[in-house]
Amino acid sequence: MSNVIDESGILAIATRLQRLSDTFRKDGQLIYKSFGHDFEPKWFPVVYTLDIKSQLSVVEIANEIGYTHPSTISLLKELEKLKIIHSKKDKSDERKRLISLTEKGKELVAAIKPIWDLLRKTQIEILDTKNNLMKAIEEVEEQLKISSFYDRAEKNKSLMGQKSSD
Amino acid sequence: MSNVIDESGILAIATRLQRLSDTFRKDGQLIYKSFGHDFEPKWFPVVYTLDIKSQLSVVEIANEIGYTHPSTISLLKELEKLKIIHSKKDKSDERKRLISLTEKGKELVAAIKPIWDLLRKTQIEILDTKNNLMKAIEEVEEQLKISSFYDRAEKNKSLMGQKSSD
DNA sequence: TAAAACTACGTAGTTAACTACATAAAATCA
DNA sequence: TGATTTTATGTAGTTAACTACGTAGTTTTA
């Protein structure tokens, strides 16, 4: 597919990660569809979380799934329109909206859990190569927690004969 | 950061890939800036490609960098406005626009090549863990070339006690 | 206990990719 | 060689995340 960029390797990693991500998302959607469900992969984090935790506020969900709260709100809006979730005010804190699955939502989860298993199995099959992508991601996240890309680059600057502007 | 989702592991891989991608992009931008350059990481594929191939049409660039042509066009517009690249009609094929770096563009490349080296070194440092992310990506792309996520899932359906709708 | 700071939620606008469609030039074919 | 198909480019609109900012409750503090 791409020539020069593959050779440049590591510098275009952001691009390649995103493309891979898109591929998984698109195929995921098709697989749900082939089972007769119009379930969008992007809903998974919210729905999966609510299946396990049953009732959470907007920000709690955002934290669980690792999204910003505005992104979470727009997902919740879609799911609310489809009556997969519903919300009610928290009586002890009027700022909060407590979200949970509706009956319809619970039925949906029960119906698609076997698909989640299938997706999981299939992804494991694809990802279980010599260098395991899932583990690699975890390891890289770990590395970045120790010291960010930016901080490491700052430190490495001194190794090169290059002046910085700050 | 995210709890439930990390445990659900593989199903949220698309999300995690994208977040990682964003992190690299943002820090990349900061690093360019710390050297006094307002060079956006998303420009890299185009600029790098033109440095090596010197003159290409819009679609040729799109293929080299693995983007769609509309995405490529919008990158080219930005770079053209900044006078980093310029274009001229191909005399032997009036449909084509031949793109190349301007003098300013060539000077820019000369100036940021040391940064590219720094970025490369730093990324290698981060990515060189037990499971190498770069290699993992290549291996996964290879797996998907053999058989797509969708096709594999279709095949695996038979392994489960589940009916399909098509 | 009033003011200040913080937290939860919401809206608006941005970004960087995409798909779908349109047009014009070139190549192919009947 | 005229009609059809393909190729190259461009535009419009979509998507799924983001940041920035605003408002209304809650908590802390002077």
List, for residues B74-127, the tens digit of each pLDDT value.
Answer: 999 999 999 999 999 999 999 999 999 999 999 999 999 999 999 888 888 888
Residues A114 and A63 in one domain: yes
Q: What is the reported pLDDT for B92?
A: 94
Residues A29, A10 share a domain: yes
Is there a contact between B133 and A136 (Cβ–Cβ < 8 Å)?
yes
Provide the mean pLDDT of chain B.
Answer: 86
Give the pLDDT confidence score for residue A166 in this predicted structure. 40
Asked whether residue B78 is assigned to any structural domain, the reply reads yes
Query: Is the distance between the Cβ of A114 and the closest atom of strand C smaller than 7 Å?
Result: no
Determine the pLDDT at residue B13: 67
Answer positive or negative: Cα dihedral of B75, B98, B53, B117.
negative
Q: Which CATH number fits the domain that encloses residue B57?
A: 1.10.10.10
Give the pLDDT confidence score for residue A11 in this predicted structure: 52
Q: How far is CA B59 from the centre of its chain?
A: 16
Provide the chain B residues 17-36 that lie in CB contact (below 8 A) with chain A.
17-25, 27-28, 30-31, 34-36
Query: What pLDDT is recorded for position A66?
Result: 86
Bridge partners of B97, per DSSP, are: B89
Q: Phi, psi (5° rounding) for residue B38?
A: -95, 55
**Cβ pair A63, A53 in contact under 8 A:** no
Residue linked to tokens 């430190």: A155
Same domain, residue pair A78 and A140: no
Q: Which whole number is the average pLDDT over B27-39?
A: 90
Mutate to test the interface with B, among A19, A21, A113 (most CBs of B within 10 A): A21
A-B Cβ pairs (cutoff 8 Å, strict) = 281
- Report how many domains make up chain B: 1
B150 located within any domain:
no
In a domain, A165, yes or no: no
3-class secondary-structure state, position A147:
coil
The reply to whether A140 falls in a domain is yes
Task: Name which of A79-83, B15-19, B35-39, B151-155 the model is least confident about.
Answer: B15-19
Task: Print the domain residue range for A134.
Answer: 129-160
Tokens representing residue B90 in the block:
């191909």
Same domain, A41 and A120: yes
CA dihedral A127, A129, A133, A135 (to 10 degrees): 110
Cα-based angle B152, B156, B157 (whole degrees, multiple of 5): 120
Mean pLDDT of B149-162: 81
Nucleotide nearest to A91 (CA to C1'): D25
Instruction: Characterize A115-140 residue by residue with b for buried, 16 or more Cβ atoms within 10 angstroms of its Cβ, and e for exposed.
Output: bbebbeebbeebbeeebbbbbbbbbb
Token pair in block for residue A19: 């493309």
**Mean pLDDT score of chain A:** 86
The highest-confidence range among A56-70, A149-163, B25-39, B140-154, by mean pLDDT, is: A56-70
CA A80, A86, A89, A95 torsion: positive or negative? Answer: negative
Interface test with B, best of A1, A4, A46, A143 (most B CBs within 10 A): A4
- Among chain A residues, CA nearest to B45: A5
Residue A111 lies in a domain: yes
Q: Answer yes or no: is B22 within a domain.
A: yes
Q: CB of B66 under 7 A from strand D?
A: no
Q: Which residues of B touch A43 (CB under 8 A)?
A: none
Same domain, A155 and A95: no
Q: Does residue B140 lie in a domain region?
A: no
Percent of chain B residues past pLDDT 90, beyond the cut: 51
Q: What per-residue confidence (pLDDT) applies to B23?
A: 83
Q: Residue A1: list chain B partners with CB under 8 A.
A: 63, 66
Q: What is the pLDDT of residue A63?
A: 92
Residues A79 and A136 in one domain: no
Does residue B73 lie in a domain region?
yes
